C-alpha cells in the first residue's frame, strides 16, 4: 500500500445509523488522507433521521448519505479498500464478500441506538453518546501513522465507555 488516500468502509447490517454516522464523521475529520464509505449487508434503504439530526447538530454535512448494499464495494469497479470497520455485531458474524485490496479488518463494538426504547430524550441521548464515541474513534483512527495501521490498532481506536 502506498500513502495516498486510505479507503475506509464502515459496515453494519442496515447501514442506517452507526455506519452512516461514521462515514460522515470520517469524511470531515479524515481530510485528504481518507475516503469514507459505508454499507450494509441488508440495507434498510433509509437513513435514521435521529442519526442525521446528531450529525447536523455537530456540523457534519449530511448531503449524499444513503443506506446502500455492501455489494457496491466488491467486483472489478469497486475501490480497493485499506480498512474495513464493522460497527454492528450482526455484520461481524455474517459471511463477507471478498473485498478488493485485502483490507485491515476491525470491529468497533457500539450499541445500536436505533433499537433503544424509552422516552424521546432517552433515545436522543443514546444517539448523542454513540455519535460522540464515533467521533473519538475516528479522531484516533486518523491520528494513526499509516505504517502502523493494522487490525489491533484500528480496533483500539474505539475506547470502551460502557453501554447505555
Domain containing residue 88: CATH number: 3.40.50.2300
Q: Which percentage of the chain shows pLDDT scores above 90?
A: 68
Mean pLDDT of 67-72: 95
Q: Taking Cα atoms as reference points, which of 38, 60, 46, 57 lies closest to residue 125?
A: 57
pTM for the whole structure: 0.92
Mean pLDDT of 75-88: 92
Higher pLDDT, 162 or 139: 139
Mean pLDDT of 98-124: 90
The total number of structural domains that make up the chain? 1
122 occurs within a structural domain = yes
Domain that holds residue 97: 6-155
pLDDT for 159: 77
Sign of the four-CA dihedral 5, 101, 72, 134:
negative
Amino acid at each position: 500500500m502506498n500513502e495516498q488516500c486510505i479507503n475506509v468502509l464502515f459496515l453494519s447490517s442496515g447501514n442506517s445509523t452507526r455506519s452512516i454516522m461514521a462515514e460522515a464523521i470520517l469524511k470531515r475529520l479524515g481530510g485528504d488522507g481518507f475516503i469514507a464509505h459505508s454499507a450494509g449487508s441488508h440495507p434498510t434503504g433509509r437513513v435514521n433521521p435521529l442519526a442525521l439530526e446528531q450529525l447536523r447538530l455537530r456540523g457534519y454535512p449530511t448531503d449524499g448519505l444513503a443506506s446502500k448494499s455492501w455489494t457496491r464495494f466488491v467486483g472489478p469497479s469497486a475501490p480497493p479498500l485499506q480498512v474495513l470497520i464493522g460497527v454492528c455485531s450482526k455484520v461481524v458474524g455474517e459471511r463477507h464478500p471478498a473485498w478488493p485490496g485485502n483490507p485491515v479488518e476491525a470491529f468497533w463494538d457500539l450499541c445500536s441506538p436505533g433499537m433503544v426504547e424509552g422516552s424521546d430524550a432517552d433515545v436522543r441521548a443514546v444517539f448523542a453518546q454513540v455519535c460522540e464515541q464515533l467521533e473519538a474513534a475516528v479522531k484516533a483512527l486518523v491520528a494513526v501513522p499509516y505504517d502502523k495501521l493494522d487490525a489491533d490498532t484500528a480496533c483500539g481506536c474505539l475506547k470502551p465507555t460502557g453501554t447505555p
